[in-house]
Every structure is written in structure tokens, then in C-alpha cells.
Structure 1
Amino acid sequence: MARSAILLILLVAPAAAFLPDLLAKLWPTQTGGDFDGVARVPYLDLVNGNAYVDPFVLQSMKTYGFFYVVEVPEYSADKEHVVMKKFFELDEDVKDEMSIRRHNPLNKNAYRGYCPGLDDVENTLQYKNLFNIGPHETRAPSYEGSTLMDKLRYDCQEPNVWPQTGDCDFDIEFKTIFQKGFEIRRNVGRAFVRSIARSVNYPGLPNLFKEDEFSAMGLRKYPIRKAINENMYSDFDGTLLRELEHIDSTVTVLSTFNNGGLEMLYKDEYRPAPVTGDNSFIVNIGKLVDDLIDNEVPSVKHRVAEVDYDRYSITYFLGPQFDADIKTSMSGKVTDAGYKYNIFGEWIKDYLGAIELFYY
């Protein structure tokens, strides 16, 4: 649907009286930039299911592969940024107490917690610090003696690890801010799924996301590199990169904290994406979800260009629930994943194995 067609719909709709204010929200002052037309959807309108947002979300996704969620109440990216930086500035021996078991064998978690990630400065993709937060604070009873899939479901429910630095004020602030930030992002991810489901008439889609056993929020610090080698340059156009070109897998809700570098592939060229502001996010989808909705909207390819400062971001991923059928799309077609997997739990088993080997 063209942007002009969307405007026509609004003009004849009851919301026409609010058209000037509405357009000011959805499309701020034009700058002549490549992504001026990307929708900027107010948080409350999205999560409350206000139907007017659906064509804007759909059009933005079809045209650009992403959109912005703005005006998030009682949320401050600046506060998250400050507290996250303070965490990464802690002494390594303090952070090591929260490290995943690959870096600290005394800890049980393989994924939730801190990962130094700087073992090899030649590693192009993973020269970063990561603190991974999930949806679980406690763990279900052990599945000892049960099936492999039950064991995997248990593994997916790793409880969060929170700082215990001796500074009680900081520890409480960190946990409070990022528990709240996780929930806000989960609200965005689920509301986006509902919006797309309404737009493409797939009412069963939200049922695949009722639970989120392995949703994940990663606090990321990309330090200034100590060395550069030829593996850090893009095969696409030779640009020096912090993160190589890639497509995500599930639903992504991203905060860039006014840090530049993120670039989206648009009209066969990588172009800088406007940064997220103090109360906004970027939303896009990945290949797995794209297949589930019959490729109605694209999974945008993106990357991070090299910058000359420590770069921070937070990436939240919302995946289908463990038992979600990923073998067939909403229209009944076999998905790319469906040639090997029946449910999301089977897919996540191999994905997590690859992550543990590759990332850690």
C-alpha cells in the first residue's frame, strides 16, 4: 500500500479530525533523509491495539523493513545507558561473578549473565561485552529422567543473574531498570505481532507467541578495537564494520542510544538508520518469523559500521513459544525451517548450540 493510499484511508476515517497531529507523530519534519518515511508509532497506540497504526506499521515494514516505536511512557533510554555503562565499567573480577559457565565454571548458566566476549581481537563479529537477561527469575523443577526436549525446555528457563557488587543502590537500580526495560520491549514485540496479524489477516499468529521461554535482552558494549584486519571489512562494499551484514531470526526491538553506525540495506545500498531517541525503539523481524507469515513483510539485512568510540546498544529478541509450530506458515506452506524442524524448541536447540560454540 502506497503512503498516499494510507493518507486517503485516514482522510475518510473518523480519525481525520486528528490528522495533523497524527501525521506529525508518524512522520516528523522531513530532512530529505533516506528513512524519513519510516513510521514512528506511539507506544500506547501500538500496545493498546489502536487499529489506525496497522497500515502504517505494515507499510513501513514492507518498504523499509523496520519502524520506530516512540513516546514510551515512564521509560528513559538515557537512564538505561548510564546504568549500563556503569555496569561495564565495573572491575572484571566483580563481573566475573556473573559470568556464564564458559568463562566461570562455577556458574550454571550457559546464556543468562555476563560474557566478556573479547578473547580474540581478530574475531570480527564478536568483539563485544554482553550481559544477557531473560524472562525467568526462578527455574522450574528439574526434568531429570525426562525426554531430551523436556531437558531443553528446562535449559531454556535459566534464571537471571543480577549484580551483587556491594553497592546496594546500584544493584537495586540495575535490576529495577532492566526488569522494567525487558517488560516494555516484550510489550512492543507482542503488540507488533498482533498488529501484523490483523494487517495480513492471520489471527492465529499471536498464538505462537503466548509464551516466550527464550526471549532475550542483550546489553552490549562494543569497545574501541585494539587491532584491525581484513576480516572486518564488508564483502558487500568494503566498509569497515563493527558487526557484519546479517538478518535476524525472530522479532527484534533495538535501542541504539544515540550511537551511530547502524545501517539498513535499502534499494541495494546500506544507509544509516536514524538513532533511537530517549524513549523510542527500532523494530524489525528476522527470517524465521518472515517465513511464518508467508514473507508478507521482509526481514531487513543490516550491519554496524565502525565508529571511533565505545558503542552501546540493547537488543531484545522475541521468539515463538517452545511448542510453536514452525513447520508450516500461517497459510500452510512448508517454511524453510520446516524441512528440518517441527516446533520452535527443536530449532532453538540447534541455534543455542551454535551460539555457545560461536559466541562464547
Structure 2
Amino acid sequence: MAATVCGAATAAEANMTALNCISISDPDIQKSISLLKQACLDSGFFYVIDHGISEEFLNEVFFQSRKFFDLPLHKKMELLRNEKHRGYTPTLDETLDPENQVHGDFKEGYYIGVEVPEDDPDVEKPFYGPNQWPSEDILPGWRRVLEQYHKEALRVSRAILKIIALTLDLDADYFDKPEMLGEPLATLKLLHYEGKISDPQRGIYACGAHSDFGFIALLATDDVTGLQICKDKDAQPRIWEDVAPLKGGFIVNIGDLLERLTNDVFRSTLHRVVLDGRERYSIPFFVAPKPECVVECLPSCASEMNPPKYPPITCAAYMNQRYIDTHLGPTSYHIQEMRK
């Protein structure tokens, strides 16, 4: 499967979309800019390879993810997602497409953000705070591996955003400015799909259709297919195409805040997960600017004939509303048992 993902799909993979591949280490930066710009204009999704994270380490991260989800439910619930959105999210916690879903998403997850100690002044900011960690007695070495992966994924994200800046005729370090990614909202999420068969006709999804909230998302997956994208979210009916996994590489997509920043020049893309009954593990990494960053239209993306489509908004305000819209409240978990 992975052998054809960077080129045209074979006849046997007729519904498998072909995405551009961007090599982070390619010395031909103009080639990378061209491929990435085309991808952002076409689908908002692309592959990233040669990113400097070894396949061996990626395998270790997936191994540690499985170890957590193999824990008894009561142990996982002891680490239930808190008001800072850190910790465990049970099955049905998220409903990403409430108009079309009869249940929440049939997946469980675990949020890990930038570590901010309790005595740090920034702990008062939205989404900032200490992570919740399983004890070393239960999962020895777990925190060390996941913190290292968070650091590496953020490094790769910054490299991708440098190329995105160049596609928009901005300075390469535009997104690295202190007011943007100086103290970013960078969230690692471990996901485990239990394998329930999806049935879109009946409103049953492993993960409902949605666009991501921030600037970009990096996705590492196992070899189980299921991710689908809709290149034109305004189309009726929507046309869904499968995205093949890429072992050792990332599937990357742009999010809502980058769409707002570019005035719809680059549009966030609807995607969902539809499964055939197999278990699936994936690890998305979401990158957004610091909470107080005001996201507003780039001057180069607006004109008299194309005025800004979105009002300025802080990252925290936008992200908070999206979480409210898509997640159960902490007191609502007993309800999900009745909904299964």
C-alpha cells in the first residue's frame, strides 16, 4: 500500500487519493514550496518524509500507546481529561460531526500538551498546565518516550510551517515569531479505535467528519486504512476519498486557523475515519499558536475585491469553542454508557 501513496493510485486502489510528498531534507527548497503549495490548494493534505524521526522510535511510540490503552478502563479513567484538556478521553467522548452522527466517535484517546508546571505563571493561561502522566510503576518509561516524541513532532511541525510561510510569500520564520509559535499550543493525541464497524448510512463512525482546529496536524498511523478526506467541503453530496497509510512518514493537513489566516486561500479539509472492523491506532499532533495570538487575515490574502472573510479572533477563544462543541463535559461520562 505505502509504495504507491506518493504517486498515482493503482486500479486496485481506485478510491485511494494521490497526495504530494514533501521531503523535509530536500535541498531543493523551490521544489518543496511548489509541491506543498499545490497540495494546499488542491486538498489541504500531503505526505511528509525524511523528517528525521527514526522508524524505530516511531514504532516505540506506537508500542507505548498500545500499552496505555491495554490498561483496565478504571485505571485509564483515573487520568480522565481535565479542564486543561490533558489526559484520557473515553470512547464516545468526542462527537465531531453531530449533524450526521447518532453516537460519538468510537475511539478513545489521550491528550499530551506542552508541559507547564503548576508554579509557572503561564499555568493560568487557557490550555496551559501540567500533563497527567501514568505512574512509573504502571508504565515505566512511558512519559520519557512521549515527551521526546512531542519535542520531535514540534520540530518537524516548525520545519513544515517554514515551507508553508514561503508558499505564502512570507519570511520563512513568519510562524516562528514569539507572538505565534513562541509558546505554541502543541498537542499530542494518542488514539485507539476499538474496531467497531462504521456505517455512514446509519450515522456510525469511528471518527466523524471534521476539520482540525489549529494551523497544521501531523498524523502517524499504523497500517490499517480508514482515513478519508473530502477535498471540497461545500460539495453536495460530499465525495470521500481514502488516504493510504505511509509507514515511517506523516500525513499532514492544514487546519481552520490557517484557513482564517489565509482568507480561504488554503482551506482546511474535512476528514473522517471509517473502519471495516479492524482495530486501528493513530497518533495525531496538532499545532496552533499561543493562546493570546490574534489570528486575522494576512494582508497579502485580501484585496478590495476579496475582503477578509473572518473577524480577528484569539487562538484561545477559537480553540475553546471548538472543544465545547465537540467534547462531552466531565460530568457527562455516565451518559455515554447509555448511548452505546
TM-score (norm 1): 0.73
SS in 1 for 2:166: helix
Is 2:144 the partner of 1:182? no
Give yes or no for contact 1:49–1:191 (8 Å, CA) kept in 2: no
Is 2:209 the partner of 1:245? yes
User: In structure 2, what is the Cα distance between the partners aligned to 1:304 and 1:25?
Assistant: 21
User: In structure 1, what is the Cα distance between the partners aligned to 2:147 and 2:68?
Assistant: 15
Amino acid at match of 1:61: C
1:49 Cα offset (Å) = 9.1
User: Mind listing any 5+ residue stretches in structure 2 that lack a counterpart?
Assistant: 96-100, 233-237, 333-340
SS in 2 for 1:171: coil
Sort the Cα spacing of 1:211 and 1:26 in 2 relative to 1 into closer, same or farther, 3 A.
farther
1:294 Cα offset (Å) = 2.6
Is 2:65 the partner of 1:94? no
Amino acid at match of 1:233: P
- Indicate which of 92, 96, 114 corresponds to 2:88: 114
User: In structure 2, what is the Cα distance between the partners aligned to 1:330 and 1:199?
Assistant: 15
Look up the match of 1:19. none
Give yes or no for contact 1:99–1:114 (8 Å, CA) kept in 2: yes
Q: Show the 5 A alignment for 1:300-339.
A: 300-331=269-300, 333=302, 335-338=308-311
TM-score (norm 2): 0.77
Amino acid at match of 1:62: L
Runs (4+) of structure 1 exceeding 6 A deviation are: 119-122
User: In structure 2, what is the Cα distance between the partners aligned to 1:272 and 1:120?
Assistant: 22
Look up the match of 2:319. 348
Specify the structure having the higher radius of gyration (Cα). 1
Sort the Cα spacing of 1:180 and 1:44 in 2 relative to 1 into closer, same or farther, 3 A.
farther
Look up the match of 1:8. none
Cα deviation code 1:182-225 (max 9, x no counterpart): 12221222222221211221334543532344221110112133
Q: Show the 5 A alignment for 1:132-211.
A: 132-141=111-120, 151=124, 153=125, 155-167=126-138, 170-172=139-141, 174-203=142-171, 204-207=174-177, 209-211=180-182
User: Mind listing any 5+ residue stretches in structure 1 that lack a counterpart?
Assistant: 1-23, 102-108, 144-149
User: In structure 2, what is the Cα distance between the partners aligned to 1:276 and 1:306?
Assistant: 17
- Indicate which of 245, 250, 266 corresponds to 1:297: 266
Amino acid at match of 1:260: T
Look up the match of 1:43. 24
- Indicate which of 221, 244, 254 corresponds to 1:285: 254
1:349 Cα offset (Å) = 3.6
Is 2:193 the partner of 1:222? yes
Give yes or no for contact 1:162–1:171 (8 Å, CA) kept in 2: no
Cα deviation code 1:285-329 (max 9, x no counterpart): 122211202322232221111221222111111012223221333
Look up the match of 1:21. none
- Indicate which of 255, 278, 296 corresponds to 2:220: 255
1:55 Cα offset (Å) = 0.9
Sort the Cα spacing of 1:141 and 1:82 in 2 relative to 1 into closer, same or farther, 3 A.
closer
Q: Show the 5 A alignment for 1:47-62.
A: 50-62=29-41
Sort the Cα spacing of 1:264 and 1:95 in 2 relative to 1 into closer, same or farther, 3 A.
same
Say what the alpha-carbon RMSD is for the aligned residues.
3.4
Amino acid at match of 1:117: T
Is 2:36 the partner of 1:69? no
Is 2:203 the partner of 1:233? no
SS in 1 for 2:295: coil
Give yes or no for contact 2:107–2:206 (8 Å, CA) kept in 1: no
Look up the match of 2:244. 274
SS in 1 for 2:64: helix
Amino acid at match of 1:217: L
User: In structure 1, what is the Cα distance between the partners aligned to 2:315 and 2:166?
Assistant: 23
User: In structure 2, what is the Cα distance between the partners aligned to 1:119 and 1:342?
Assistant: 26
Look up the match of 2:338. none
SS in 1 for 2:76: helix
Amino acid at match of 1:214: L
Sort the Cα spacing of 1:35 and 1:194 in 2 relative to 1 into closer, same or farther, 3 A.
farther
Is 2:104 the partner of 1:125? yes
User: In structure 1, what is the Cα distance between the partners aligned to 2:176 and 2:265?
Assistant: 16
Sort the Cα spacing of 1:212 and 1:254 in 2 relative to 1 into closer, same or farther, 3 A.
farther
Sort the Cα spacing of 1:335 and 1:175 in 2 relative to 1 into closer, same or farther, 3 A.
farther
Amino acid at match of 2:64: V
